[in-house]
Amino acid sequence: MSDKPPAIAPAKTLFDSPEYAAAFSDLPLSDLPADFATRTLIASRTSHGLQIDVKVKAQQVDARFGDERLIMMHEPDSPRAGAFRVLTGRLAERGSPRTVLCTSPLRQEGKTTLAVNLALALCEFGRARVLLIECNLRRPALAKLFGFRPPTCASKLLLLSGHAPTGEWHVAQIKPELHVIAVDTASLDKPHVIDGPSIDSSLRRLKRVQYDYIVLDTPHVLGHADVNLAQDYVDAIVMSGYSKKTSMKAVSRAVDQLSTPKLLGMALVG
């Protein structure tokens, strides 16, 4: 395997033109049903001949969008936002993976920025229903980033999913087309490690619900095995990094540790 994964988010210099942003300005919004945001989604799967319902209840939350990392919201016409739109196209070229894991080689290298803006780009203009799941139980950030209190802590939903196959999933509605499962730091008494079988069980159930895409915000690769525990259960992996901060040595080590064709490339978020 090459030491350097392909760059699937283009350099910002490729989008320094108003024509790119203008190409998106006239796209029509999808006609959404009146109960789109509040209805209970019910999907079924067969397990040993039994029919099991997967119920997801979306609760509208009073989210705040002041965090500058929300590039798709704060800078929708910028080259940086354009790069995230192109990233969604790159994923489509690679088979439109429904479950995408976002990570980075080391801490503070943009993995949450990548996950959040990828989710926002995928659901832009109401084109898709997206679920963003916080799987970084070591250093959660999504609730603070969006400024809301999760209806149910992600750790509880993920870790208990295998024990309660008919239980309800309470998710936060950030936008009608974007739902979030985040860690409630107030109820998380200590850092947890994501559990591979729990991720498997959760994604198997949630893929039966009418989400077009599920984006996972996970810990960084190096230093522990969290991402390795989850990588078998997703369709694709994208690593984030910073052009002037992320070292190629760390990238090479992360690629070697993952050692999977599911790693589609690296997105430079700054």
Average pLDDT over residues 93-105: 95
* Within a domain: 246: yes
Higher pLDDT, 194 or 247: 247
* Within a domain: 91: yes
Residues 6+ away with beta carbon under 8 Å from 4:
248, 251, 252, 255, 266
Q: Per the structure block, which two tokens stand in for 30?
A: 């999808």
pLDDT digits (tens, 9 = 90+) for 7-62: 554 333 222 333 323 332 332 323 333 333 333 343 333 333 334 456 888 888 88
For residue 54, give the nearest of 40, 64, 67, 66 by alpha carbon.
Answer: 40
* Within a domain: 2: no
State the Cα angle at 157 between 144 and 112, rounded to 5°: 35
Rounded Cα distance, 100 and 209, in Å: 16
Strand runs labelled E in 15-98 = 40-47, 50-60
* Within a domain: 100: yes
Rounded Cα distance, 202 and 19, in Å: 41
**How many angstroms separate the Cα of 39 from the Cα of each of 34, 35, 149?**
9, 6, 20
- The domain spanning residue 68 has which CATH number? 3.40.50.300
Question: How many structural domains are present in the chain?
Answer: 1
* Within a domain: 1: no
> Structural domain of residue 142, as residue ranges?
7-268
Does residue 66 carry a pLDDT above 90? no
> What residues pair up with 236 in beta bridges, in sequence order?
100
Residues 6+ away with beta carbon under 8 Å from 82:
15, 20, 21
Higher pLDDT, 163 or 134: 134
Does residue 219 carry a pLDDT above 50? yes
- Name the pTM for this structure: 0.80
